[in-house]
Amino acid sequence: MSPARVATEFARGYIIPVGGAEDKVSAVEILRKFTELCGGPRAKIAIIPTASVLPDTGSRYEQLFTGLGASSAIALPYAERADAPRADWMAVLDESTGIFLTGGNQLRLSTILGGTAVARAIRRANARGVHVAGTSAGAAILCEHMIAFGKEGSTPRAGAASLAPGFGMTNRVIIDQHFRQRDRLGRLLGSLAYNPFAIGLGLDEDTAAFIDPDDCIEVVGSGAITIVDVSALQHSSMAEVSESEPICMIGVQLHILTQGSTYDMRARTARPPTQAQAQAQEKS
């Protein structure tokens, strides 16, 4: 799936992948920033808990977002593909200022909602300025090429990661979540080795990439984001190796970005927090 075209009169909404296990009881920084971005007291947030099999996932996020000051937060518990055409739930999506996809299993999201009017509505909403966030499984499915599953480990190996179509909010990145906690560098590198076009985003838990309409990332949260840039890749052995063999990759650039750091995905340049703050002040 490719991103929806952004009309000249609109700016694309933020795309916000979260690495999972975001703080929900203390500072609640990531969810608070998302709520404020969506309008604060005017925010209307649609929650899609489809990735989860827990019955209270949707209601828990409803309470979280209304507790953070949103005017409304409504869970749309799509459980099967037959639910996708529901007009009342589509109306909630159409009126929302923010859409939030919960964690769980990204293949539940893709098999239940992939290719449906719901997925198209989310892409169109983002193209007209609605902010779309997802945590864990909800983060993985935001991009065009989604990591469906894979093996842990730091070394990229052939076949260690399986890709599936995502919702296609952006084709600039491949996202992996719970990154440091589950040792997923190898599967992200392996995913990029198939076609070194996209940028790899490895999101630690309680850490989010706030991707603005100009494709600049701001890091928010207590962990780090690993940026894997393969644009200068000189060699990849992906085409020659057999199943489970290590992949030789030469020319990979890697950044570790923490709270307040930024990354320009178009220029492929990273800035530490102090430089990012100075640049923001210059623009203001």
Catalytic residues: 136, 178, 205
The DSSP line for 59-120 is HHHHHHHHHTT-SEEEE----SGGGTT-HHHHHHHHH-SEEEE--S-HHHHHHHHTTSHHHH
Burial readout 139-167 (b: 16 or more C-beta within 10 A, e: otherwise) = bbbbbbbbbbebeeeeebbbebbebbbbb
Q: Which two tokens stand for residue 117?
A: 């009017």
Give 242's DSSP letter: P
Name the strands in the sheet holding 262-264, side by side, starting at the edge strand that comes first in the sequence: 72-75, 44-48, 98-101, 131-135, 15-18, 207-211, 216-221, 262-264, 269-271
**Residue 259 buriedness (CB in 10 A; 0-12 / 13-18 / 19+):** middle
Residue 48: name the closest of 3, 92, 11 by CA: 92
Structure tokens at 123: 């892409």
